Amino acid sequence: MYKGIIFDLDGVICFTDRYHYQAWKKLADERGIPFDEEDNKRLRGVSRMDSLDIILEKADRAYTDEEKARMAEEKNDTYRALLEQMGPADLSDEVRNTLRELRNRGYKLAIGSSSKNTKTILARIGLSDFFDAISDGTNITRSKPDPEVFLKAAEFIGEDPKDCMVVEDADAGIEAACAGGFDSAGIGDAAANAKATYRMRKFSDLLEIAK
Ligand code: BG6
Ligand code: MG
C-alpha cells in the first residue's frame, strides 16, 4: 500500500539519541542547569538551537546569542567525539535485516532527520549508500514538528506524502508526519503517541506493517 518509507535517524535507525543526551547533560551540568531524561524527551527531533533554548528555560540567567552559539558548538563537539566510537557493529542486525527486507519488498527508503550530522552517522554505521534519499538538517529551514524535512524526503524519492509512511521515536516527529499528511509508525517514546497510525514495540514490527 505504501510506496515509500521515511525513517528518522537518531533513536530509530541507531542509538545516537543517547549521545545527544550525554552531550547536552555534560553542558548543562557544567553550568548548573537542571536537566534530566524527562527534560530530554522534549529535545527529541528538534534542532540543535531549539534544543538549547528548551534547556535554557531552566537556567537562572539569560544567555546572549553569542554565548548560545558557542554552547551549541561545544555540545556538537562533545557529540561528534562520541560519534567517533561508532562503527558498523552499532547498526543492529534487526535494523539491518529489516531494512534489507523492506528494500526487497520494493519500498523506496529515505531518511528524514533534523540532524546536521546525519551523513557522518550513516557513514559510521555503513549505510552511506543504502537509502534512496536523505533529507536532513542541512536541507531544511524549519525543524520538526514542522513537516518540511519529511516533505523534502518525499519529494526526493518522487512520492506523494499519502503514499509514504514515517517511522519516528519523537512526539515532534509524529506531529510533523501528521502535519505533512503522512501516516506514521511510532517507536520508543512515540509508540505512546495517540496521533501515530501504528505503534511499534520493536523495529522489525515494520515487516508486519509494511507487507
Ligand atoms: C534530531 C535529534 O535527530 O537531530 C535531536 O532527535 C537533535 O535531539 C537534532 O537536536 C539535531 O541534531 P544535530 O546533530 O544537528 O545537532
Ligand atoms: Mg529521533
Q: How many Å apart are CA 13 and CA 87, to the nearest integer?
A: 13
Model pLDDT for residues 1-40, shown as the tens digit of each residue: 899 999 999 999 999 999 999 999 999 999 999 999 999 9
Distances (CA, A) of 3 to 108, 158, 174, 182: 6, 10, 19, 12
Report the 10 Å Cβ neighbour count for 52.
20
Model pLDDT for residues 131-183, shown as the tens digit of each residue: 999 999 999 999 999 999 999 999 999 999 999 999 999 999 999 999 999 99
pLDDT at 24: 98
* 59 Cα–ligand 2 center, Å: 25
Ligand 1 first shell, C-beta below 6 A: 9-10, 17, 20, 43-48, 51, 76, 113-117, 137, 170
pTM over 0.95: yes
- Please indicate whether residue 93 is annotated as part of the active site: no
- Please indicate whether residue 10 is annotated as part of the active site: yes
